[in-house]
Amino acid sequence: MRRVLPSLSSLRAFEAAARHQSFTRAAAELNLTQTAVSHQIKNLEDLLQIALFTRERSAVRLTDVGHEYLESVREVINQIAAATDRIIDKNRGNVLTVACLTAFAVKCLIPHLGDFRRRRPDIVLRIGTVVSFDLLQHHDYDVAIRYGSGNWRGFVSHKIAPEEVFPVCSPRLLKSGMKLKSLDDLRQHTVIRTSSFALRDEWPQWLELAGVPDLEFADEIACDLLFPSIQAAVDGLGVAMGRTAIVTTDMANGILIEPFNIRMPTNSGCHVTSPVERADMPMVKAFRDWVLDRFQPALSAA
């Protein structure tokens, strides 16, 4: 059976029109006329033999089939764009791709990258954030800041620093009249939990270590990623479970505080890793050495 493939021009026009909900704005983005965009989408609909948009006087809206098709089209376009970037970058020879969990990228890595760029202005960085490293087979990277045990087959890994987990909150929370002097005071507070692909909720284990395994909080906020959990604590919404690498800078700046002197060590932590075949590349070694030199002392002493 012959496989039917639409043109990339039609797919790009469809994706842009779906994102903007406007043929006119899609045309401006793609540097085409509105008529050309409309023609590309009409060709696509004729190929599929189904309407992807409902046309209204002042806007266009995706049909149910259009929504379903958009998910696949967007992924394909992103993959083609990423593959193209990789080939161009390889030809340039000075591009280092770094994959990183969002929380570590925002709270740790990016605030310090200016130092690396001053030391190695010859290296062009591409930073990509990921939700779960279980999906890394879909990414092409030279270095990753990865969370876990450090035992990953096919990778060279160096632990950045030991990790401890402990409750943190904004000083504003306590200034609002809420007490947090004893463990029992936690009953009056909102707990902020994280349940993501990469991290488990450490609150039950910490409460058991603290000797109050059955403690119940007044309320609860659940986040699917660590970064929004920490940001919720920064904004005074409750008490979150902090991790050494992620909250050290915020604590040093007085944005977060540690109300209890009870920390729970973990068997996991952040590692700087590379595929075995790339671990000895000069750019990779330079970045790895910089990460370990920059973060190991600060996080080990936290």
Domain boundaries, the chain: 8-87, 93-162+268-301, 164-265
Q: Are strands 143-148 and 269-275 parallel, antiparallel or unpaired?
A: antiparallel
**CATH architecture designation of domain 93-162+268-301:** 3-Layer(aba) Sandwich (3.40)
CA distance 229 to 232: 5
The domain defined by 8-87 carries CATH number 3.40.1160.10:
no
Cα distances (angstroms) measured from residue 238 to each of 53, 121, 178, 227, 252:
43, 41, 10, 14, 19
| Residue 297, both tokens | 């002392």
CA distance 267 to 248: 19
Q: What is the DSSP letter of 169?
A: B
Looking at the chain, which runs of residues are DSSP E strands?
53-55, 60-62, 95-101, 124-130, 143-148, 155-159, 164-168, 190-194, 219-223, 239-243, 264-265, 269-275
Q: Do domains 8-87 and 164-265 have the same CATH topology?
A: no
pLDDT band for position 86 (50/70/90)?
low
* pLDDT score, position 81: 74
Residues 153-211 pLDDT 10s: 889 999 988 889 999 999 988 887 778 989 999 999 999 998 776 677 899 999 999 99
The model carries a pTM of: 0.68
CA distance 256 to 17: 43
Is the pLDDT reported for residue 282 higher than 90?
yes
CA distance 174 to 53: 52
Q: What backbone torsions phi and psi does residue 151 show, to the nearest 5 degrees?
A: -100, 85
Average pLDDT of the segment spanning 84-102? 76
> Is the Cβ–Cβ distance between 79 and 87 less than 8 Å?
no
Task: Select 164-265's CATH number: 3.40.50.300, 3.40.190.10, 3.40.50.720, 3.50.50.60.
Answer: 3.40.190.10
Residues 105-147 pLDDT 10s: 988 899 899 999 999 999 999 888 876 666 555 557 899 998 8
* pLDDT score, position 296: 78
Task: Give the distance, in angstroms, between the CA of residue 51 and the centroid of all CA atoms in the same chain.
Answer: 35
Residues 221-264 pLDDT 10s: 999 888 899 999 999 999 999 999 899 889 999 999 999 999 99
Task: Please name every residue paired with 239 in a beta bridge, in sequence order, or none if there are none.
Answer: 191
> Is the Cβ–Cβ distance between 197 and 250 less than 8 Å?
no
Determine what percent of the chain is predicted with pLDDT higher than 90: 44
Q: Are strands 190-194 and 219-223 parallel, antiparallel or unpaired?
A: parallel
* pLDDT score, position 2: 62
Average pLDDT of the segment spanning 56-81? 84
